[in-house]
Amino acid sequence: MRAGLSILFASRAAVVGLIIVLFWVSAAVLAPLLTPYTPLEQDWKAPNQGPSMAHPLGTDELGRDLWSRLIYGARVVLVILPISESVWLPGGTALWGVFVALVVGTTLGLVSGYFGGWLDEVVMRLLDAMMAVPIILLFLIIMAALGASAVNVVIAITIVGTPGIARLVRSLTLDIRTREYVRAAETRGENPFYIMFAEILPNARGPIIVDAMLRVGYAIFAMGTLGFLGLGLPPPSPDWGSMVAKGREFILEGSPWAALWPSVAIASLVVGLNLLADGLREESMRYQ
């Protein structure tokens, strides 16, 4: 634990990224305390208003408070909590998708790399075929086929993220399985699955954690893209991508706020996650 914190705070990029990520996570968790309105509450007397004392970041076309929708929008991607008490909408979509992809991809990579042979060949060829399709195009195909919903976004993130994670874990497994402690476990007659999950996986966790952080950033960006194209979470969810898409219609009317703030939120969170992951990777390589 102490070594991990030393690696984290040794990198300025990682510290900056951590501050940004902690801001959004804290805001999502404490959303009811930080927002004066619910994300669905409408004020028909104040549509498309600029920043004011009543609405710090302005309002959208329905008079909904942008600060409240922005903060609750962080729950959509980061925190597994309901978005609204009156209308239940699921949260943590990006994290759920990356978590499921991490479980599936790690299992496939361990099994493929450890057993090898025809199983490795079949799994890798299937994953190569999936990775041959551009990521955004694959997202669009999946969402167009399944339809717009939180569950389908999680499925899309899982399908897109699994191949890359599996290939990473496979390469780590091929390297670690040749080490002495793994050979010793095999000599003792340990079960192959014990060796994979108790000997190999703990020693591969560093690169996997860094990759998972990057993939959360990719998932958030992809969710923003899907929401912008109308293939993300359905209304009235405070999805940042959907907010940008709707807000851009009023930019030329002198009301850029509804599109500006969610764009800043997406960019800042993705940059924060990338800085944190890159900083951890550089410092961990330096320590090694």
Question: What are the start-end ranges of the H helices in 91-204?
Answer: 93-115, 117-131, 135-146, 150-176, 180-187, 192-194
pTM higher than 0.85, yes or no?
yes
One-letter identity of residue 252: L
**Dist. CA 284–CA 288, nearest whole Å:** 6
Q: State the Cα torsion 225-209-27-30 to the nearest 10°.
A: 130
Centre a 10 Å sphere on the Cβ of residue 282 and count the other Cβ atoms it contains: 16
- pLDDT of 231 above 50: yes
Instruction: Give the span between the Cα atoms of 219 and 232, in whole angstroms.
Output: 12
Cβ 268 vs Cβ 20: under 8 Å: yes
How confident is the model over 50-67, as pLDDT tens digits? 999 989 999 999 999 999
The answer to whether residues 274 and 67 touch, using CB atoms and an 8 Å cutoff, is: no
Q: Give the pLDDT confidence score for residue 86 in this predicted structure.
A: 47
pLDDT for the residue 285: 62
| pLDDT recorded at residue 4 | 54
How far, CA to CA in Å, does 165 sit from each of 101, 108, 147, 218?
Answer: 8, 9, 25, 13
**Residue 130 has what pLDDT?**
92
The model's pLDDT over 173-220, given as tens digits with 9 standing for 90+, comes to 999 999 999 999 999 999 999 999 999 999 998 899 999 999 999 999
- Confidence bin at 33 (pLDDT 50/70/90): very high
Question: How far are the Cα atoms of 53, 176, 190 from residue 183, in angstroms, in the given order?
Answer: 67, 10, 10
Q: What is the pLDDT of residues 76-118, one digit of tens each?
A: 888 655 555 544 455 678 889 999 999 999 999 999 999 999 9
